[in-house]
């Protein structure tokens, strides 16, 4: 039996699909299932049962002997939330309880960390030096909560039989329809661009023309507008790596999960227009003040550690991933 927390969310629901596609149906889905906007993510999935996240540890104590692996993907991921108590409860302390349960019952686990732990990136993006985690200064409470758990995990002498923390970089792909402001730039760019497809290019909304993709203006003189770069990774690559880690005896520890190749937001926007067979139309807007001083201008995963652990499958290029996501999912509102 495989447990997936955050199973109704973006990456978690895609992980359930990955397992189903591999013939695995003995899955327990853990989440807060009260959010109706997430329900389509669970449609057409095969699983044993759903367990509310507040009841999970009671359920696990009763069923631990049947659990072979836990993917702990569930978390509060809103980078604009500044109430640290929320992150302490849902990201830090809940994950500690998952860890302790895996220790007690001898269950291997993969958990979701984040590239947000790297802060402004001045210390680099090296996942091969555990000491780096204790020097990092994340830029928001979300990143702090993820880094605090990474540090806690690295200090533990009592560990699950095998564990991996994955520092997700900029993940995009199907099943993020419910994420609102926190959805990927690909998702938002598509929804802005389709104004042109729907014949609404002249319609004004909030003072700006639909059919135009809006990117943040650079407020850093070292980067041109649209030249901010991220390591964008397709969610199908993410779940492929997680499946690999479940099935291969890799060394326990923290691993980056990006492509290892940073791309600009202009590249991304142009890829969305290309996937829609439309001419590019891009407008730059000011970065919101509430995130401006916490904005990352460059992220790029060092991927040697995962490759040396035996993961050799090539990642989707940005263009390949955007084309599949737009044409295979977004155009018709399809879930994965």
Q: Known catalytic residues?
A: 142, 179
Q: List, in sequence order, every residue forming a beta bridge with 209; answer none if it has no partner.
A: 204
Maximum alpha-carbon separation in the chain: 62
Q: What is 17-66 written as a DSSP string?
A: HHHHHTT---EEEEE-TT-GGGHHHHTT---SEEEEGGGHHHHHHHHGGG
Q: Which residue has the tokens 């109706």?
A: 36
Q: Which two tokens stand for residue 270?
A: 């142009």
Q: Which of 48, 66, 60 is nearest to 7 (CA)?
A: 48
Among 189, 212, 188, 214, smallest CA distance to 200 is for 212
* Residue 136 token pair: 């990092």
Separation CA 20–CA 17 (nearest Å)? 5
- 3 state SS of 22: coil
Q: How many helices (H) and strands (E) does the chain have?
A: 12, 15
Q: Which of these, 133, 137, 110, 109, lies nearest to 121 by C-alpha position?
A: 137
State the residue for tokens 């997700």. 168
How far is the C-alpha of 279 from the C-alpha of 193, rounded, in Å? Answer: 10
Q: Coil, strand, or helix at residue 206? A: coil
By three-state DSSP, how is residue 63 classified? Answer: helix
27: which residues sit within 8 A by CB, 6+ positions away? Answer: 1, 2, 3, 4, 7, 16, 19, 20, 45, 46, 47, 48
First to last CA, the chain: 22
């Amino acid at each position: 039996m495989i447990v997936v927390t955050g199973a109704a969310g973006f990456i978690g629901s895609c992980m359930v699909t990955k397992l189903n596609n591999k013939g695995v149906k003995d899955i327990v889905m853990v989440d807060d299932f009260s959010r109706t906007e997430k329900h389509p993510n669970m449609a057409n999935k095969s699983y044993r049962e759903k367990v509310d996240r507040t009841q999970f540890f009671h359920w696990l104590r009763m069923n631990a002997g049947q659990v072979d692996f836990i993917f702990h993907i569930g978390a509060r991921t809103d980078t604009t939330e500044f109430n640290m108590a929320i992150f302490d409860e849902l990201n830090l302390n809940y994950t500690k309880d998952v860890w302790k349960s895996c220790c007690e019952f001898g269950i291997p686990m993969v958990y979701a960390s984040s590239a947000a732990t790297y802060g402004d990136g001045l210390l680099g993006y090296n996942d091969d030096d555990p000491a780096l985690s204790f020097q990092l200064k994340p830029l928001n409470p979300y990143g702090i909560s993820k880094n605090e758990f990474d540090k806690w995990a690295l200090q533990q002498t009592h560990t699950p039989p095998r564990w991996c923390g994955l520092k997700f970089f900029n993940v995009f792909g199907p099943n993020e329809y419910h994420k609102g402001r926190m959805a990927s730039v690909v998702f938002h760019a598509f929804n802005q661009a389709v104004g042109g497809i729907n014949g609404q290019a002249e319609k004004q909304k909030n003072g700006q023309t639909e059919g135009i993709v809006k990117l943040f203006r650079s407020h850093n003189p070292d980067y041109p507008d649209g030249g901010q770069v991220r390591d964008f990774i397709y969610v199908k690559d993410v779940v492929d790596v997680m499946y690999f880690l479940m099935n291969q005896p890799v060394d326990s520890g923290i691993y980056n999960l990006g492509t290892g190749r940073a791309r600009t937001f202009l590249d991304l926007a142009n890829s969305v227009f290309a996937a829609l067979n439309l001419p590019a139309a891009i407008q730059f807007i000011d970065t919101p003040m509430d995130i401006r001083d916490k904005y990352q201008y460059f992220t790029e995963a060092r991927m040697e550690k995962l490759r040396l652990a035996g993961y050799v499958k090539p990642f989707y290029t940005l263009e390949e991933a955007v084309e599949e996501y737009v044409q295979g999912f977004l155009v018709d509102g399809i879930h994965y």
